[in-house]
Every structure is written in structure tokens, then in C-alpha cells.
Amino acid sequence: MHNATPIENQTSPLKITLCFSIKDKVGALEDCLNAIKASQVSLTRIESRPSRTNDWDYDFFVDFNADDSEKVSAVVESLRSHTKNVTIIGSDASTDNSVPWFPRKLTDLDSFAEKVLEMGEELSSDHPGAHDPVYRARRAEITRIAKTYRTGQGVPEIDYTNEENETWGKVFRKLTAMYPTHACREHQYVFPLLVQNCGYNDQGIPQLDQISRFLKDCTGFTLRPVMGLLSSRDFLNAFAFRVFYSTQYIRHGSKPYYTPEPDVCHELLGHVPLFADPDFADFSQEIGLASLGASDEDISKLATIFWFTVEFGLCRQEGEIRAFGAGLLSSFGELEYSLSDKPELRPFEPAKTAIQKYPITEFQPVYFVAESFKDAQEKVRDFAASMNRPFSVRYNALTQTVEVLDSKEKVVRFAKSIKDDMKTLTTVLESLT
């Protein structure tokens, strides 16, 4: 699980994005840049876009690093006489009108490439492969490959060894024998498609690139290789763009049915099948959108909701309880345990789920049961509306960007796009009658 980790302390310079609008007049941008320069900060990026307002303005996005919140405030004050609608997106929420920095477009995820809490090659002393130099070197090799990936590239292929493929085969056979009686119907429905289209079998580990293309065709989700453990915020933020950070290394062959951290078996057998389901994809993205600009406290709550749903969730289907969480669907021991009479089952209610304590090194004593993925999505959306965040966001699939809905003009523009979609829907319905 990548996101069930404490929020790390910020020790590096604050990464700041300022968003503001200016009139189309001679010297307007130059005035703004001179104001920023006078504050003695260096810009790392500047972009312009047509304004989302009804006026003939331009929206500008500038990135810079600041030593502290006072420096950020100074830059904002220097801009206010030249701009309007200044929004601060930074990593220090103590600054007036600011929220934690979050990615606005897909390529912003590249900034997370080397921002990991633990490298995939770093193993705890009790890890089965901790004292195996060959295994450690192999993990380091795969981690270095993940480091080179950037948005828009194909996911690098891994030439898995015979031993790695044998370990995968053991896990694959053990778990697939349990899916017909334990997995939710959506997981069972998609799995044969992965066999047909992505090379899922017990002979070798499938490649992420082929799987990612398949998911893209199904729901728009894609896989991105990761070097190691990410913070909760970075991991969840990617879901807003329908991106899942996936490991490519596999557990140690001496214990094929046990792993203390996510590996390629967990990702491909547990997570991937449901990312091809439209309702589950929508639900997962809802958590990601809620995480953008959220406070540390709310990130912790969303991470807990993610833990009890995407990782260890149960659902009710045709009068029976089935598993949909990847942590269950990739662990035959806990998969069996979760559907027994031993754990406590509670209905999924985000406000209560978000504050439930949980162990990470043993089976869960409590599981939450969702009525459906759509129902869970609506509940998470309602929960997000109660969070302390001064704006709402929407994902624009055409531009693969996140739009901040923080003004009347932007909301009106969004409403007009919905109105156009409703006209199309009405036309289709009339043609079917």
C-alpha cells in the first residue's frame, strides 16, 4: 500500500504555484514579472492559458520556490496592484489564501519521480530478501529503471528472470483458484479479459505497458512505474488524473505467499482488474480529486478511506459479501479470513471510516462493506464537500488537466458545458423513443 503513511515534514523549500489573471494590454505581463523579480524570487516555470472567466483576460500560472511563507506573502502583495483573482497553491497552508501544492496537469506528476519516502531497494531487516544480495541488487536495478520514466513514454519493460516468473506463477495459481468464490463480480468479469488481452497466465509476469494501454481503452486509467513508497498526498493526487503508481519488482521467492509491502503481484492481481471497471474507476478518481489541495488532516482521513476500500474493501452482492480490496485479492490468507465470521463488518460511511484505526502488519479486525461502487462514490463526494477546502475541482479529460472552480465565472462556464452535454443526452433519448 503506497499511501498509508504519515504526512512527512516539509524540510525543503516551499514549492509554490501562483495563479492569476491579467487584462490583455501592453506591458501587463511585464509589470507582473517585474513585481515578482522585485521580491527576489526566481521563477521555475511560467505558462499562459485563455481565461476561464467571461472577460477577455489571460490566466497565468507561475512556479517558484520560496524559503518561507513570509516570502510568499511578499510576492502576492507585490502582484495585487497588477493582477486579479490571485490564488496561491503552495506546500505551506499557513499563508493567507493558500492550499497545499497539487498537480494541475498530467506532466506535473513527473515532479514525484524521485520524491519517495522509501526506495524500492531499501528493505527492512525482517524482509525475506533483506540478506539476499542478488535479490537486493535486482530490486535496485528495477528501481533505477522506474526513475527514468516520464509522462507520455511507454512503461519500460522488465526482463523477468525464471525465478521471478516461477514466484508469480505460484501466487497466480493460488489466488485465481479462490476468485470464483471470494472476489466481487466486477473483478471476475474483467480477469478473463486480462488473460486474453494482457498475457495474464501462470507462466510469466505481464508487462505494465500492455496492461496500461488496456486500462486506458477501458476507463482512461493508466499505470506509472514507481521507485518506492510515496507519501499519501502524492499517491492519492495521481488518482485525480486516473494514474496508478505501480511497482514492478516482485516478492522474494523464499516466501511466495507473503510480502511486507506492495509488489507486482499485489498491483496486477489485486488492483488492476478493477481499474478496468467504470464504476470503480470513477470511485477511485473521486478520492483523488478530493485529495487535491486538502489539508494534512483531510489527507490522513482520505488515506484511511482508501485503505478500507481500494485496499481492504468488501461489498454486498446478491445477498453475499465479496472482496474488492486489492490487499485482500492479493493475499489468499486474508481473503479467506475477511469472508469468515471472525472479523467485524460495518457499513461503509466515510465520516466514520475515515477515523477508524487499523493495523498494517496483521489481518484487519474491522472491514467496511459498500453497497456498490456508485454508492461509495457518492458518499465520498459528499464527504469531500464537507472538507475544509476553499474550492472544488473537476478533471478535464480532454486536456488532462485539473480545473479549480473557485469563482462564479468558472462555475458558470462549467455549468454551460454540462448544459451542452444534457442537450446531447436529450437528443439521444428522443431518438430512442
The model's pLDDT over 162-179, given as tens digits with 9 standing for 90+, comes to: 999 999 999 999 999 999
- Total Cβ atoms within 10 A of residue 130: 14
Task: Give all strands (DSSP E) within 287-391, no chain letters.
Answer: 314-317, 320-323, 344-347, 366-370
Closest CA to 405 of 52, 51, 21, 49: 52
Each residue's pLDDT tens digit, 230-242: 999 999 999 999 9
Each residue's pLDDT tens digit, 10-46: 456 777 888 788 776 777 888 888 888 888 787 888 8
User: What is d(CA 111, CA 92) in angstroms, rounded to the nearest whole number?
Assistant: 18
Q: What is the pLDDT of residue 325?
A: 97
383 or 422, greater pLDDT: 383
Mean pLDDT is lowest, of 42-46, 116-120, 178-182, 320-324, for 116-120
pTM score, two decimals? Answer: 0.84
Q: What is the pLDDT of residue 177?
A: 98
Task: Just list the catalytic residues.
Answer: 266, 271, 311, 330
User: What is d(CA 326, CA 334) in angstroms, rounded to the nearest whole number?
Assistant: 11
Q: Check residue 329 and give left, alpha or beta (phi > 0: left; psi -120 to 50: alpha).
A: alpha
3-state secondary structure of 202: coil
Q: How far is CA 392 from CA 288, 399, 417, in A?
A: 12, 18, 16
Grid cell digits, residue 144: 533505477
- Total Cβ atoms within 10 A of residue 317: 14
User: What is d(CA 323, CA 430) in angstroms, rounded to the nearest whole number?
Assistant: 40
